[in-house]
Amino acid sequence: MLTSRGLDMLSTWLITPKMTLEANPAMRRVKWPSIFLINLLLLGLPYLHLGFSLTMIVVSFLVAGNTLSNGALTRGLGERNHLASIKKAIRGNSLPKAVAMNTLGALSVMAAGILLMLLSKDSWDDLLWWGALGVACYGLTALLHINLNLIRLFHKSKKQRQNPGFSEAPANDQHVTLELSSSQYEQIHAKAQLFGKSVEEYCRMVVMESKAKLK
């Protein structure tokens, strides 16, 4: 339990320390000290129910594995840029298609877990049955959390497209507001991607370079 939960926490901290990419809506609202305390309490689960603790261990290992498998992409793009690329992908693929593909993938994982559960003997007393339940629960988690996250990001992205302007407060406390059309925003976003920056960071860089040239 310590190894699986520790690996799950470590993978999340490495990939999305600000919880920006966290699919679980409940965990996005929890701060790291609380997350650590919750996982500390889970270490006592094997003393309460060995089978259910095995289910939790399997789910934790699978979640950590999935998170780490996306690690290279996320660390290379950066947390905010990766989130922006996900929003762009959803816009290009449409929400129903994105939800349908994730649903099929999650149901495939659930089917594998349920098959192993059916093949296990003496279900409640068989630890392998509880392990197979972990596989099925992982699929169910992906079905619920990722679909909800896709819907949330789609509506958030749609709102940004309808209001493409943004504001920021630079270090000198001068408030700068840029009003951009959707096409202008897309062009700047594409250029920002080349530099590995967010739109705000790219615009700040351009403004700073312009000031330097004027001086």
pLDDT in tens, 18-40: 887 888 888 888 888 999 999 99
pLDDT in tens, 150-205: 888 887 776 665 565 544 344 444 455 666 677 777 778 777 777 777 777 777 77
Please report where in the chains the tokens 């679909």 appear, as a residue.
147
pLDDT in tens, 37-71: 999 999 999 999 999 999 999 999 999 999 898 77
Backbone angles phi, psi at 19, to 5 degrees: 65, 20
What pLDDT shows up at residue 200?
76
Output the pTM of the full model.
Answer: 0.68
Name the residue among 24, 30, 92, 34 with its Cα closest to residue 59: 24
Q: Decide if 118 contacts 126 (C-beta within 8 A).
A: no
Domain-wise residue ranges, the chain: 2-162, 166-214
